Structures are given as structure tokens and as C-alpha cells.
Amino acid sequence: MGLKSFIIPAVDIKDGKAVRLFKGDPNAVTIYGDDPVSVAKQWEGKGAKHLHIVDLDGAFEGKPKNYKIVEKIVASVSIPVEFGGGLRSFEAAKTMIDIGVARIVIGSLAYTNKDEFMKIIDAFPNKVVVGIDAKDGKVAIKGWLEKTQYTPLEFAQQYDQLNIWGFLYTDVNRDGAMVGPNIEGTKKLAENLKHPVIASGGVGSIEDVQKLYQLKKYGVYSVVVGKALYEGKIKLEELED
């Protein structure tokens, strides 16, 4: 697996458009496209092997709001799509699996309603990615608005023995800021968990990707990249598979 396969482009949807937030702030929005479906197809055309779709409206409102757009994306591309944003009930999770999403990312529900979360894991083995959004060293939930008392590792270890796909670790303070990923935090998680970890947040250059790629031996599976791709800091089509 080369660097191209290691990168998962992010398509964040807000108000029906492809956007990026700065440090998780819903008021700090940059619009990168009016049609998230064509944006998704563009990344596939440049060689992406996976896509990471986030329903930002869903994350803030607690239930998926851009369902139709995600359904169109899944139907329009031939690569696997992982989806997160507002999956806080069994029904919401089932809806996304039913439209063909390969993996679902769930964070808040794992904290607020473990029974419901376990029901989803039991129903969809190996398809759930536990979303770990960290803010100042603690796990944040509900669209990053509420901080819990858990460190990322404490939170992850509760689910590491279950039949999940793995974990998605995002340092919210770095997300969309292109200041470099949290290498130390990502490594600490990956080397202490048996499931794979997807890194996210802060990637601003191909050097950042290479640093994370070096952590593959510890269990870092891939990295979600948004702004650096949209702004041409990383050119997917120039990388090797």
C-alpha cells in the first residue's frame, strides 16, 4: 500500500454543499463545491481507494440530514464509502448500511447510549468505526461541543474487544488548520489497541502523511485528509498506489 491508498479524502457536507470547517467550528466554513457528488467522483477519478463522508448538519443536529446526497455518492462511485455525522440511533445506522455505506463512524452514541451502540455493533459486525474526537486531550461529543472526562485511550479501550472495524481518531483543535497531525496521540492509541486506527485532523502536507505512514507498523491504517487536498497542498494523482 502506497501513500495514495493510505489517504482517504474527506467530503464534508453542510447545507447540501462540500465544505471544510476550521477546528470544528460550524461558523468557520469554507465551501469547496456546490455538489458533493461531483466532488466525491473527482477524488475517485484522482485515484482515491476510499472516501470519508461527514454529514456536518447531522453531527450538530443529532441525526443525518443529507441522506439523499450520501445515497447519490454511494451510487455514483465504485470505491468504499465510510460515513459519519449524527448516527445516534440504530435506525440511523441501519439506514446508512442499507444504502450501501461500507463503514459507519459513530462517536457520541458510544458515550451517551451504550445499549443502543452495542445493538448496532451486534447487527453490523466489522462495519462500525468508533469515532474518537479529542479536544485538549479529552474525548468530545455531540458535534465536538461537549467534552467528556475520558482520554482517547480510556474511551477506545472500552470497545477494543468488540466486533468493530476499528477507530477514527481526530484531534479537533487541529482539524482544518493544516498545522500537522497529532503524531504522538495517534501512535499512543494505535500501539495500545488491537483494532486499526484511522488518523484525522491537521494534515497540511505530504510530509505529514509520510509521518503517519511510518506508524503503520503500530496499527495506523490510513489518514483522512480534507483541506490539504482541496487546496492542492497534496495532489492525490501524483502519488503512487
DSSP 16-38: TEEEEEETTEEEEEEEEES-HHH
C-alpha to C-alpha distances, 182 to 15, 104, 188, 209, nearest whole angstrom? 29, 23, 10, 11
User: Is the pLDDT score of 146 beyond 90?
Assistant: no
Average pLDDT, integer, range 139-167: 93
- CATH superfamily label, 3-238: Aldolase class I (3.20.20.70)
Please give the Cα distance from 84 to 106 (Å, whole number).
6
**Set 12, 55, 175, 208: catalytic member:** 12
Average pLDDT, integer, range 123-148: 91
User: Is the pLDDT score of 178 beyond 90?
Assistant: no
Average pLDDT, integer, range 77-85: 97
Sequence ranges of the domains in the chain? 3-238
User: Is the pLDDT score of 143 beyond 80?
Assistant: no
Q: Are 110 and 152 in contact (CB under 8 A)?
A: no
Report residue 26 as a C-alpha cell: 460550524
Report residue 21 as a C-alpha cell: 470547517
Q: What does the pLDDT look like over 187-235, one tens digit per residue?
A: 999 999 999 999 999 999 999 999 999 999 999 999 999 999 999 999 9
Q: Are 186 and 199 in contact (CB under 8 A)?
A: yes
pLDDT of residue 70: 97
pLDDT of residue 144: 73
Active site residue 171: no
**Set 55, 57, 133, 208: catalytic member:** 133
Residues near 38 by Cβ (< 8 Å), separated by ≥ 6? none
pLDDT of residue 122: 98
Active site residue 57: no
Cell 463545491 belongs to residue: 33
pLDDT of residue 177: 80
Q: Closest Cα to residue 197, out of 229, 144, 153, 139?
A: 153
60: left (phi over 0), alpha (psi -120 to 50) or beta: alpha
pTM for the whole thing?
0.95
The letter for the amino acid at 64 is P
Dihedral angle, C-alpha 78, 84, 89, 95, nearest 10 °: -20
pLDDT of residue 91: 97
Please give the Cα distance from 223 to 205 (Å, whole number).
12
Average pLDDT, integer, range 77-95: 96
